[in-house]
Amino acid sequence: MFRWLSRKVKFITHQKKEESTTDGQRRKQPESQKVSTRLNKNFTYMKAQFGENYDIIYRSFRVGKQIHYQAFLMAVDGMVEKTTINLNIIKPLMQVDLVDSGHDLMGYLKDSVISVIDIKEEEDMTRVVNQVVNGKVALFIEGEQKALLIGVQAWEMRGIEEPVTETVVRGPRDGFIENLQTNLSLVRRRIHHPHLRMEPMTIGTSTQTKVVVSYIKDIANEEIVKEVKRRLEEIQVDAILETGFIEEYIEDAPFSFFPTVSNTEKPDIVAARLLEGRVAIFVDGTPEVLTVPNLLISAFQIAEDYYSRPFYVSFIRIIRILAFLSSIILPGLYIASQNFHTELIPTPLLITMAEAREGVPFPLPFEVLFLNLMFEWLKESGVRMPRPIGQAVSIVGALILGESAVAAGLVGAPTVIVIAIVGITSFLVPALSDTISLLRLLFILIASVFGLYGIILLGIVIIAHLASLRSFGIPYSAPIFPITFKDWKDAMVRLPLWMLVSRPKVLRPANLIRQKWGGWVGGKDHREKK
């Protein structure tokens, strides 16, 4: 015990020393270098920063016909449009007449010569380097203490298509891709509102990943927006490669099985959540978009729920909730009823199940754990392998292995049926698939030791945990608890759209009213009376 405490104290002391050393190094860093009026000095600095890289383009040329200025530009090959550089930058600069250009050469070239929309002047060499690695062209001219940063980014990207994991029968089938500007435009196409904000920031000292925080100013709660920005700004890491990196840094309960940050690949879902008062986080290079705050009930709601009629939608939502509960509790109940509470099973069914398990050499908990593990293997192999092979593996595993195991007497047929039901129901709520797998394992283990009493005790612990969870200050389990009856109209069931007058109250939107009451117009007679 004392040895563990001494090691812990040494680790904390060493960590504090490293932090103080790092802070001292940051304070000792020199100020950023300015762009020099000497072209050779700027060229040497950029060469030192990028080294001998194959994909870095350097192009030296002269600006002007009569009066010549030596210049060079640089860019990253594969991230810029070369045709635009040739026709809109280099060619006009080489052919311009600079007799009456005046003393502000950079301003004249920017305003009257270079025909590109995205262009600005920059004096700091560090920012010039950062912009070049982000796909911009840097132009340096002899005698000028400024560089021009020209945006002609262009790179290969896949087309817009329906997300594989969020397919729908009715509704739009476009999905986000890996290009940030395209993703933002997909949301803009759906929300034509001048108060839709897209605020950029950069995270990652090495990757310099572009991140955009999106919200509707008159609808989203300002405190939530400020909290989202604060958490993003405090992320100090060298690389952000996907939204999963950001999700782990900003979530409220990092050790909880339940996700307090939602993600989706569908633009219509992001647009709907922005209109509810939530905040979206876009990350360049990934099709996943994060939305916060996240509620537990959101996992049982899909975009198609709002494109279909409310009666069937309400029925399907109840089915999803029952499937979630069955997927995590059913194996544990099966073990508890067989090993501890046989009096709960009708006698004919108990005899049939006992006959089915006759000759099985393994205890029931081990049997259930083994089949559950085999199901997880099949699911993971079906996802990771190529699609045609993955489907074949799933069919072979589900039919041949299961039937062979029963025929060989290694497992009982009732156990196979239970695991098959669990496997089917676990796919009905994909947003909680990871949570379902972990909770199911916990219920199996506790039911194997304590029976039904253990299941009830674990259920109480999970409910208490859900009641304590918060997502950016919003209760995660709302509107179930704390009870908010006003939001029940779009929770377990969905009322007709014309009855959804207000936005979810639990999200504390700045503008609660969505539409006026009495929006149904189908029964009104607008014909002229004779």
State the average pLDDT over residues 320-337.
94
CA distance 179 to 197: 18
In the prediction, which pLDDT does 67 show? 78
In the prediction, which pLDDT does 407 show? 74
**Beta carbons of 320 and 298 less than 8 angstroms apart:** no
Q: Are strands 147-151 and 119-122 parallel, antiparallel or unpaired?
A: antiparallel
CA distance 423 to 434: 13
- The pTM of the full predicted model, rounded to 2 decimals, is 0.83
Average of per-residue pLDDT values in the chain: 85
> What are φ and ψ of residue 164, in 5° steps?
-70, -35
- Cis omega (within 30 of 0) for bond into 365: no
> What are φ and ψ of residue 27, in 5° steps?
-70, -30
- Would you place residue 388 in the very low, low, confident or very high pLDDT band (cuts 50, 70, 90)? low
Q: Is 198 helix (H, G, I), strand (E, B) or coil?
A: strand
**Beta carbons of 476 and 467 less than 8 angstroms apart:** no
Tell me how far apart the 2 most distant CA atoms of the chain are, in Å: 104
CA distance 337 to 339: 6
pLDDT at 203 over 90: yes
In the prediction, which pLDDT does 28 show? 41
Q: For 334-357, what is each residue's pLDDT tens digit?
A: 999 988 888 888 888 888 888 877
**Amino acid type, 177:** I
**Amino acid type, 32:** S
Give the residue from 197, 179, 198, 163 showing the smallest Cα distance to 268: 163
Buried b (16+ CB within 10 A) or exposed e, 205-237: eebbbbbbbbbbeebbbeebbebbeebbeeeee
CA distance 68 to 142: 10
